[in-house]
Structure 1
Amino acid sequence: MKKYKKKNLQVAIDSPAAAGAGTQARLISKNYNLFYLDSGKIYRHLALLKIKNPKRFNYTFILKKMKSLKMSDLRNEKLLSDEVGTTASVIAKDVKIRKLAHDFQIKCAYNPPKKYKGSVIDGRDITYNIMPNADFKFFITASAKTRALRRYKELKKLNKAISLNEVLKSIKKRDKSDYDRKISPLKRTKDQYLISSENESKRSCFLKIKKIMDRIIKA
């Protein structure tokens, strides 16, 4: 991993669903004053649009929506539903849709608002596809059971009527889709730092990441 020399700090994170990457990305963003983008929310946003507008959902419709996409659109609680997540995983396999999402991610990665000192993005193909030259690349993971329990608790807070077993099945299905897809699959690479969130609190996991980053930034 190269030392931090650029003016804008770039952090790339890949992870399977519900591994805690979003939480860690937000903590990194706050600590280092970086612009944060959850790239998965882009596909979830489009998935929600498809569910709501099945007959209108075509590339012309998608292009129009991507041009008007705002960060506030990605904070919709409805994006957390199991149905949206499953649909998003299918949409992410479409080459044309990935190209539109790719362009939006590149803009966020390399041209963050001036008030930020850089950017941090999490997703499935960020470390090797969107930000291949990132200063830091992390792969955050945990067992399927642990991730399913986390997602189940999130959904219960939103009063979603779903069982833990249903969430676990969905997580495993999404893992297979993310790892096996031909276009930009989720994968480990040699230049990623592997971070397990299995038995870690949010804070302790962040401190592991911070220790790695500070050691290199201050070197």
Structure 2
Amino acid sequence: MTDHKITIAIDGFSSTGKSTVAKQLAKELSYVYVDTGAMYRAITLYAMRKGFITKDSFDTDSLIKDLPNLNLKFAFEAARGFAAIYLNDENIEDEVRTLEVSQYVSRVAAVSEVRAKLVSQQQLMGLEKGVVMDGRDIGTVVFPNAELKIFMTATAEERAKRRFKEMKQKGQEVSYDEVLKNVEERDHLDTTREDSPLVKAEDAIEIDNSSLSLDEQFNTLLNISNEVIAKQN
């Protein structure tokens, strides 16, 4: 009997390791992985390059007007072991992971027209199921009928530690206090925005990974996924 493929929606706060575990899960299940956070980061980077968003201003009208000119896609890279994000055919995978982009992304993600453009693209990507998608509103807005919804959380301090370590390993000059402040600010913006705020779907399974190792986290999600997939057969 062939396994029925399902849609796995993973939501949660920033730096909870959503993308890491989603990639692992997709690889293990031979599913497609879609990093929706990278899509919002790509539009944020575009807005920064164009000068639409700065520390003191945000020209949302110009960004909205330019949205039809933005083409986003993912292309698998063997060296990375996952699909990298491209903006108008330019690989921007590394550039979108900087703290500067992180400082602006929640503001860009709060723009309804930006969300509408990306949600429609994400829904198309998941039409045939067999997809693992992570973000802030996957189980509530993008795929409200997903067979499996996970909501990941951890303390702000633990998430800041992980993000700080990751950024230092990439050679980025940041302080732990800067990273913690960014994590807390993003939490506030993500949970209080008017359009599709970050909330746990009623039928989502909550996982607090503050004290879980990467292996423990992955095995927990894999076991849950296999149970749900088995029920579809």
**Residue type of the alignment partner of 1:76:** E
**Which one of the candidate residues 130, 133, 149 is aligned to 1:121?**
133
**Residue type of the alignment partner of 1:94:** V
Partner of 2:164: 152
Q: Contact 2:3 / 2:230 at 8 angstroms: preserved in 1?
A: no
Partner of 1:63: 68
Rounded to whole Å, the distance in 1 between the matches of 2:228 and 2:12 is 22
Residues 1:86 and 2:103 aligned together: yes
How far does the alpha carbon of each residue in 1:147-177 deviate from its partner, in whole angstroms, 9 at most, with x for none?
A: 0011111111221111001100000000000
How far does the alpha carbon of each residue in 1:66-87 deviate from its partner, in whole angstroms, 9 at most, with x for none?
A: xx22214356111111110121
Q: Contact 2:148 / 2:228 at 8 angstroms: preserved in 1?
A: no
How far does the alpha carbon of each residue in 1:29-62 deviate from its partner, in whole angstroms, 9 at most, with x for none?
A: 0111111111111110011111111159533322
Distance 1:211 1:8, change over 3 A: closer
Partner of 2:37: 40
Residues 1:217 and 2:221 aligned together: no
Rounded to whole Å, the distance in 2 between the matches of 1:104 and 1:120 is 15
Rounded to whole Å, the distance in 1 between the matches of 2:93 and 2:42 is 8
Q: What is the DSSP-based 3-state SS (H/G/I as helix, E as strand, rest coil) of the residue aligned with 1:159? A: coil
**Residue type of the alignment partner of 1:89:** S
CA apart distance, 1:200:
1.0
Rounded to whole Å, the distance in 1 between the matches of 2:17 and 2:137 is 16
Partner of 1:26: 23
**Which one of the candidate residues 2, 10, 13 is aligned to 1:13?**
10
Instruction: State TM-score, norm by structure 1.
Output: 0.89
**Residue type of the alignment partner of 1:212:** I
Which deviates more, 95-104 or 52-61?
A: 52-61
CA apart distance, 1:199:
1.0
Distance 1:102 1:6, change over 3 A: farther
Partner of 2:183: 171
**Residue type of the alignment partner of 1:81:** T
Distance 1:218 1:73, change over 3 A: closer
CA apart distance, 1:128:
1.1
Q: What is the DSSP-based 3-state SS (H/G/I as helix, E as strand, rest coil) of the residue aligned with 1:140? A: strand
Which deviates more, 5-14 or 41-50?
A: 5-14
Rounded to whole Å, the distance in 1 between the matches of 2:214 and 2:200 is 22
More strand by share: 2
CA apart distance, 1:7:
4.0
Residues 1:76 and 2:93 aligned together: yes
CA apart distance, 1:216:
2.9
CA apart distance, 1:102:
1.0
Which consecutive residues of structure 1, in runs of 5 or more, have no partner in the other structure? 112-116
Q: Contact 2:11 / 2:150 at 8 angstroms: preserved in 1?
A: yes
Q: What is the DSSP-based 3-state SS (H/G/I as helix, E as strand, rest coil) of the residue aligned with 1:97? A: helix
Rounded to whole Å, the distance in 2 between the matches of 1:146 and 1:27 is 21
**Residue type of the alignment partner of 1:190:** E
Q: What is the DSSP-based 3-state SS (H/G/I as helix, E as strand, rest coil) of the residue aligned with 1:58? A: helix
Structure 1 consecutive aligned stretches of length 4 or more whose deviation exceeds 3 Å:
5-8
How far does the alpha carbon of each residue in 1:102-143 deviate from its partner, in whole angstroms, 9 at most, with x for none?
A: 1111111214xxxxx610100001001001111100001110
